[in-house]
Amino acid sequence: MVSRLFKKWFCGLAMAVLAGWVPQTAKAYQVDCAILLCLAGGWPASAECAHARAVFIRRITPWPIEPPLQIWRCPMGVSERVPLQSTAPKIREASNQSSETLGQVILAQGVKGGADIDISGLEFDFVRSIRVWDVRHYSHRERGRDDDCSESYNMRLGTYGTQGEFGWQRTTPAAAPQWVLPSRRCSSQNWRRGVGVEWEDHEGNHGYEWVAY
């Protein structure tokens, strides 16, 4: 059941976006308000939501891979407020578990700041449901003279924090849903590369999109 607080926020933000009440400095970022609203509503059929969904998917299409929802670009507080300034990316290096790459992969941790209001409540769980699966390499095939099976991978998972901040972390094939890795069987043709995004709307309905490259 949609809470009274969420209904009030949802209607207020929708009216603000449609009426062009968002501050001039933020108008270029209204697409993120549209993404937020359309995602919550299950991507209803409309020109605005079709555009918002296209941007949502395009952002995870290589390269570069961006957070599909950039909530820090959508002002949700009073009309005088503008989006919070994004924080500088924090970069670290992690050893690569795949033997077929150069041995190092750069991961961005805490890439952007969060929302300009408190979204820690259950009514905003749909924001935290968004996950980005970046499969840079996956294979499970026979190798060597003895034809032993070898599974190799280079994967990371992008998630949203309590206030909508986005960050990356290493992940494994075991953690990936089947739509990301349809099979982990040992096969000469079992390889995978691409980026996928999944989400739930405010009612908990699940959706996903996969982009192979």
76: pLDDT strictly greater than 60 = yes
* 87 neighbors 139 (Cβ within 8 angstroms): no
CA atoms within 13 A on the CB side of 10: 17
Q: 0.85 cut: is pTM over it?
A: no
Write out the two tokens for 188.
């000469």
* 112 neighbors 164 (Cβ within 8 angstroms): no
Please tell me the predicted confidence (pLDDT) of residue 189.
83
Tell me the pLDDT tens digit for each residue of 139-166.
Answer: 998 876 666 888 999 999 999 999 999 9
Closest CA to 179 of 211, 203, 137: 211
Provide the pLDDT confidence category of residue 121 given band limits of 50, 70 and 90: very high
Q: Is 65 helix (H, G, I), strand (E, B) or coil?
A: coil
Residues with Cβ within 8 Å of residue 195, at least 6 apart in sequence? 60, 61, 62, 65, 132, 133, 134, 135, 210, 211, 213
Tell me the pLDDT tens digit for each residue of 28-65.
Answer: 448 999 999 999 999 999 999 999 999 999 999 988 99
